[in-house]
Amino acid sequence: MTTTKELTPVHIPPPGPTPRAEYEDRQYRLRSAMAVNHLDLLVCYGDAWRTANTRYFTDFRPVDGINGIEQAVLLFPLAGDPQLFVADGCLDAAQETTPFPVHLLSELPGISTAKAGVWTKGRVGFAGSGQVPAPVRATLEAALDGCRVTDTDVLARTKAVKSDWEVSQLRHAAALTDVAIARLEEIVASGERCTERDLAREADMAMIGAGADGVAFLSMVQSGPRSSFSLALPSGRTIAPGDLVLTDIGARYGNYVADGGRGFTVGEVSEAVLDVVDASVCAVEAGLAYARPGVTASALNHEIQGVLVDRGYAEYSIEARGRGTGHGTGMDPEEEYPWIGPTNDDVLEPGMVFTLKATINKPGVGGLRTERLVHLTEDGASPLDQFPMRNHW
């Protein structure tokens, strides 16, 4: 395969199970945070699409489906073993991959406070409360009657700081995503006629062929006029010279995923298209230069948002309009922390992994999303992906 960018060769070993030491360290750090926040029990909900709140403790992942097979609940006490609750049909698989007791979801209504690891009048926190279905929450609150129940971000904040091992997994996922973009360059640069769906399928196959366990999310490819849509799945439109193409692609490696947005132009394009690309990339570059431990998420957002506004794209960018210019990434493509947004004054810490992104969608011109996955070190933002952000093929 020939590309205009020489990438580091991809030699990705098959993912193995999460090391026991990782789980022990996570439980220790989470219990320390729970003690500080005076929580006696943490209720963690996960499903087939948002896995991290339960998968942080076990390699079990719910499967896509209905009637509960897509759900899992984990009860994490301040002292004692966690307990995982899964659907009938998933029990054997969950027990095989989970080092602590596993029960059926149907047992939740009958669980007592003592069995949950908390006493009456104890304080219970709900992690990721926005994801918990109302019936699940009602069942748990009834079972924990008498406890003081509150929403909490203690798990999200703990997950946000990645271990060296987690960063290595994310680096593999990012390298596999680079392979997909390189494959798109090979196809487009060859002059081969192809549709958005063709490119999306090629990206998926390239990642899986190189060792990915699958895609992190449905791959997005939008070209020409359709690139001015902020979010859309691929269509049968054929890529043509003069197009600006938006892609948003990520690989899944074991328990971890990458999230990578890249745009590219095809052949000769207008000055207006070139300016869209340059403004988007310059915005992310400003964020990369500014990001470091000790700055607030809102200050980092201001740097990226400011470039988009100054370049005249306030009307054509969701990030310029205040949606936020980055988000945590780990076991899910979008994790709760850190949100790089205008109202988040949390201080960024070493070990965090997040995207920095700038989307521009200008009707009549086109659009792209420039997104870079970074690991925050003591020295600043270290990119985990390698593929260039400026691409003219």
Query: pLDDT tens digit string along 249-267?
Result: 999 999 999 999 999 999 9
Cis amide bond preceding 338, omega within 30: yes
Distance of CA 122 to the CA centre of its chain: 33
pLDDT of residue 4: 47
Residue 160: phi and psi, rounded to 5, are -65, -30
pLDDT of residue 9: 57
**What number of CA atoms fall less than 13 Å from residue 323's CA on the CB side?**
14
- CATH homologous superfamily for 164-383? Creatinase/methionine aminopeptidase superfamily (3.90.230.10)
Which long-range contacts link 84-88 to residues 24+ away (Cβ below 8 Å)? 84/54, 84/57, 84/58, 84/60, 86/60, 86/62, 87/62
Return d(Cα 43, Cα 24) in angstroms, integer: 18
**CATH number of 20-159, picked from 1.20.1260.10, 3.30.70.20, 3.40.350.10, 3.40.50.720:** 3.40.350.10
Closest CA to 50 of 128, 165, 162, 148: 128
The pLDDT-based confidence of 3 (bands split at 50, 70, 90) is very low
- Could you tell me the sign of the dihedral formed by the alpha carbons of 107, 108, 111, 117, in that order? positive
Instruction: Provide the total of helices (H) and of strands (E) in the chain, helices listed first.
Output: 10, 17
pLDDT of residue 6: 53
Return d(Cα 35, Cα 41) in angstroms, integer: 10
Return d(Cα 330, Cα 170) in angstroms, integer: 7
Instruction: Break the chain into its structural domains and give their ranges.
Output: 20-159, 164-383
Task: List pLDDT tens digits, range 145-163.
Answer: 889 999 999 999 999 999 9
